[in-house]
Amino acid sequence: MPKIVFMGTPDFSVSILEKVHSEYGVSLVVTQPDKPVGRKRVYTAPPVAEKAKELGIDLYQPERIKAEEAFKKIQSYQPDLIITAAYGQILPKQVLDLPKFGAVNVHASLLPKHRGGAPIHRAVLNGDSESGVTIMYMAEGLDSGDIISQVTTKITDEDNTGTLHDRLSILGGDLLMKTLPDIFNGTNERIPQNHEEKTISPNISKEDERLDFTRSQRDVFNHIRGLSPFPGAYTVLDGRRLKIYAADLTDEQSTEQPGTIIKKDGDGFYVACGTGVLRITEVQPSGKKRMPAHQFAGSRQDIDGTQLGAE
């Protein structure tokens, strides 16, 4: 049985780790260090670390994977294959060169599109019609290695980043399990990427989270679902943040200034955009829990005509 070192960090990686371990056994899991989470800044282990403990797999959480100590630790396990899935750090060449079957990555996009740390968010934000998973050989550049296999899935208007994330995690694990026998047999494909077609999908910044209602309703709609459920898009109402987690496209038009709430009903409240009108259906006022937008709007008698986005 080949010796496998698995490297991953978030929820996306958990089901993939489970599938690999159940079939082949994983010798070592490498993940990011525990980090402070929430308002109380409680140090919390990454989801992959928790799963490794549950499965009884050796766990290693280096601050820097490029440190010599990290290389020696991984080397001591004499891996035949390294598998990464949303690990969060770029592996140095000396680590990539360790295993005889190489190092492969489960990347949540159809490479060469959406290289980088937020491929799922950016696919939805951009309004892409499809996404997928790529199994690839790792190289020193950012997600630039040869493609081994891919699987595609449609992105519908009912999707947000959360639903697409969960679907790609399952698809990625299934594709990896189909691909690993070919890798171990030396019969897998190895297709160089067309680097001229690459797009970069950097991590979501604080600036990315703020909504701009001067854009079309379709763009605002994609922005909202692209950041739902995490980290959440926001606007400002009466000087306070209002997070918006869900919305619907409508056929309505308005001559009001973009960001104006033009009406409310039992489904939510309606906001004028640069073109078209968007119905907001789920929000989270500052300091409160998420709630249906109609509940929030119903608590405010003066909401019609209110301007979103004004400081």
> Residues forming the annotated binding site for (6S)-5,6,7,8-tetrahydrofolate?
109-112
The three-state DSSP-derived secondary structure of 227-288 is: CCCCCCEEEEECCEEEEEEEEEECCCCCCCCCCEEEEEECCEEEEECCECEEEEEEEEECCC
Extract the tokens encoding 134.
């790529």
Tell me the C-alpha distance between 138 and 282, whole Å. 40
Annotated binding-site residues read: 109-112
Instruction: Return phi, psi of residue 156, to 5°.
Output: -105, 170
